[in-house]
Structure 1
Amino acid sequence: MTTPPAVISPERWLCQLFASQAAASGGIVRRGLRDVDRIVGRTRFVHEIKWRGFRAIENAGQVVIFCNHNPVRPLC
């Protein structure tokens, strides 16, 4: 029997996301939109990304966040 995950506050979730090693080093992180909507809400999530000067894209229920200030250019 599995234990259901503990409830996490939006503030803690965002803090953990942006404090991750990948985010802190200017890398890329990925999260499910379902979690984003359930835990913090899309409006706040987008605000936090823009406030940090990052970029994000959405595809197939996932969001990919580029945790740096470099431009994002599609290859095709």
Structure 2
Amino acid sequence: MLNLNSPLSPEIWLNDLFASKAVQQGGVIRRKARDVERFVGMELFLREIHRRGFQVAENAGQIVIFCNRAPVRWLSGPVPLS
């Protein structure tokens, strides 16, 4: 749900997000999922992620954006039952 009372348009919010130093250096950034929904909307956000060739993960209400095109390799998985 977009916040119609926000002083920032979705485009300005996305521009600010992707202008950060971490993005420029190919790093990782994190935002609350509710903020992404509130200020941009998930559909527009995911389109921009795809356009840039980035990857994104969500866990416990946090969005983690990998701001490069390198593959993501998960180092942990389910704990085996003994």
The one-letter amino acid of 1:56's match is V
Q: How many residues align?
A: 71
Q: Equivalents in 1 of 2:23, 2:74: separation in Å?
A: 21
* 2:51 is aligned with 1:51: yes
The one-letter amino acid of 2:36's match is V
Aligned-residue Cα RMSD (Å) equals: 0.9
When the two structures are superposed, what TM-score results if normalisation uses the length of structure 2? 0.83
In terms of fraction of residues, the more helix-rich structure is 1
| Structure 2 partner of 1:10 | 10
**Structure whose CA Rg is larger:** 2
The one-letter amino acid of 1:52's match is R
The one-letter amino acid of 1:64's match is V
The one-letter amino acid of 2:37's match is D
| Structure 2 partner of 1:3 | none
Runs of 4+, deviation exceeding 6 Å: none
Give secondary structure in 2 for the equivalent of 1:64: strand
Identity of aligned residues (%): 56
What residue ranges of structure 2 are gaps of 5+ in the alignment?
A: 1-5, 77-82
Superimposed CA distance per residue, residues 21-43 of structure 1 (whole angstroms, 9 cap, x where no aligned partner): 00011000101010000111001
